[in-house]
Amino acid sequence: MLTRTKRFFTTTLLGGLIVILPTIILVLAFKWLFSLVSNAIQPLTELVVDNLTLPDQYDHFIAMIIVLSIIVLGCFVVGLFVKTRLGR
């Protein structure tokens, strides 16, 4: 009985780690990528935000949308490259 219980807890714990660990790694990688892209295009986002006639409360949101758009576009370009003959 004790070995079944021990095996149950061990299997359940390892199963949870197998699910949670990749999720944590993905979130940390995305935060790193977001920060990298955000710092790289900061002059562009400041230029766009300064030239828009929206209230100041939207500045951060607009900058975030620009960064997310560039990340999604980058993922699309990488996926397109992988799908072509060059990527295979």
d(C-alpha 82, C-alpha 27), whole Å: 23
pTM: 0.70
Handedness of CA 47, 75, 82, 28 (dihedral sign): positive
Give long-range contacts, CB 8 A cutoff, 24+ apart: 71-79: 71/33, 71/34, 71/37, 74/37
Give the model's pLDDT for residue 87: 61
pLDDT tens-place values along the chain, 88 residues long: 678 888 999 999 999 999 999 999 999 999 999 999 999 998 988 888 888 887 878 888 888 998 999 999 999 998 888 888 766 6
Give the model's pLDDT for residue 28: 96
